[in-house]
Structure 1
Amino acid sequence: MDVEGALRERLVDAGVELVLSEGAASAGLREIARRAGVSHGAPRRYFPTHRALLSAIARRGFEELGVGSAAAIAETAALREELAAPARVYVAYALERRGMFELMFRHDLLDSGPRQGAADGPRLREAMLPMFARIVELVVRCRGEAMEPSAAVTAAALWSNLHGIAQLWSWASLQLALGGSPGGDGPDGPGRLVEAALKAHLGPAVA
């Protein structure tokens, strides 16, 4: 990697660290530059806008999530587990890396439109849409149906359900509703909720 590429990566590394430690709202250009050990104007040389830098940070999250999901799927044998395993990874990632998870889906803050020859690399849609397409594919296979618009709707509903579980659990709202302890997994923990979501959208698992 050349010097320019190394400095660009250093800025993204500093941004990732900041988002994870203090949340997406803290990831300003000046603070990222300070943490990266460069001048406050340096980020503009590599990222034309603040949104472009935040998008590069968010793409790291999608890369991490993709690697974790692929590893979980590689250890599965049953078809339904190919969807259940990454669903559990998704919720676990959200709870373990809350700042990054929050940023990844903030399309009001990120460059998520179609790419138009931007020098800062692919827009966020190139990171997020393949993830959703994979969910649709797995829903189709699990339900044994053709690739129809209804499969995308089911996948979107399942994704929304998983995202809601992750978000509400991180706020301790679900623990309160279920009468559990705020920090513990317990019998009504997120793993059990993920299974309930899969059953609701795909039907009961076939032994």
Structure 2
Amino acid sequence: MSDDERSPLRERLVDAGVELVLAEGSGAVGLREIARRAGVSHGAPRRYFATHRELLSAVARRGFEELAARFAAVREPDPRARLACLARAYLAYAAERRGMFELMFRHDLLNGDGSAPAGPRLREATVPLFGELARLVARCTGDERRAPVATAALWANLHGLAQLRGWGSTALMLGEGREEELLEAVLAAHLGAAE
């Protein structure tokens, strides 16, 4: 990690970006407003982030770090129960930090070319999370070869569920209080019925 990446001012700019995303949504994140919130001149972000997109990627990377910390806090040893806990953590993160969740999966950020000084492409931040889920899916299904595809399908289903919940659509479809039942149906669809 370079000195610029460890800079307290750089971190303050990212913190201000996170704050702004959470307060006003991912579309409100501009360099000038982040600089204002961080208490620096409007040109200061350019010292650490060559482009607006690079700063957004750093803010989104923070989101993946937060999500990874939530995953790491899950201590359930049983693979299926652990997957259910991780799914709940994912859905809770999406609900509690909606703007960050939206920013983290923006296509233009995930497909960055990695040439910026900020480091590797944002998509690479998802690899460890996906890997953990794939290992658990393989243990649950006993099919290591198919696990990446089953994991991608499970993640897509969870992501869709997070979006539908955020829009209030699941409550409209099923009524209030059936989220856990819906989550169990999602897990059963990808892992088979619970024993």
Q: Which bracket does the TM-score occupy, shorter chain normalised? A: over 0.9
Aligned residue in 1 for 2:7: 5
Contact 1:51–1:111 at 8 Å: present in 2 too?
Answer: no
Contact 1:20–1:100 at 8 Å: present in 2 too?
Answer: yes
Asked if 1:193 corresponds to 2:171, the answer is no
Aligned residue in 2 for 1:50: 52
Q: Work out the number of aligned pairs and report it.
A: 192
Instruction: Point out the structure with the larger helix share.
Output: 2
CA 1:38–1:104: 2 relative to 1, 3 Å: same
Aligned to 1:80, the other structure's residue is in SS state helix
Give the drift of 1:138: 1.3
RMSD of the alignment, in Å?
1.7
Q: Which blocks of at least 5 consecutive residues in structure 2 are unaligned? A: none
Asked if 1:121 corresponds to 2:111, the answer is no
Q: Deviations over 1:42-95 (max 9, x none)?
A: 1111001111100110111111111111111x2x13221121111110001000
Aligned residue in 2 for 1:29: 31
Normalised to the residue count of structure 2, the TM-score between the two structures is 0.92
Alignment of 1:1-207 (within 5 A): 5-72=7-74, 74=75, 76-108=76-108, 110=109, 112-113=111-112, 115-116=114-115, 118-146=116-144, 148=145, 150-180=146-176, 186=177, 188-189=178-179, 191-206=180-195
What is the identity, as a one-letter code, of the residue corresponding to 1:102?
E
Give the drift of 1:111: 5.3
CA 1:114–1:142: 2 relative to 1, 3 Å: farther
Aligned to 1:51, the other structure's residue is in SS state helix
Give the drift of 1:114: 5.2
Give the drift of 1:123: 2.0
Name which of structure 1's ranges 133-142 and 5-14 shifts more when overlaid on structure 2. 133-142
Q: Distance in 2 between matches of 1:203 and 1:60?
A: 34
Q: Kindly, what percent of the aligned residue pairs are identical? A: 63
Q: Which blocks of at least 5 consecutive residues in structure 1 are unaligned? A: 181-185
Contact 1:20–1:97 at 8 Å: present in 2 too?
Answer: yes
Q: Deviations over 1:133-153 (max 9, x none)?
A: 22222111111123x2x3222
Aligned to 2:73, the other structure's residue is in SS state helix
Q: Distance in 2 between matches of 1:77 and 1:137?
A: 13
Q: Distance in 2 between matches of 1:111 and 1:193?
A: 29
Give the drift of 1:113: 3.9
Q: Distance in 1 between matches of 2:156 and 2:111?
A: 18
Q: Deviations over 1:6-65 (max 9, x none)?
A: 110010000000000110000011111111111111111100111110011011111111
Aligned to 2:128, the other structure's residue is in SS state helix
Q: Distance in 2 between matches of 1:119 and 1:85?
A: 36
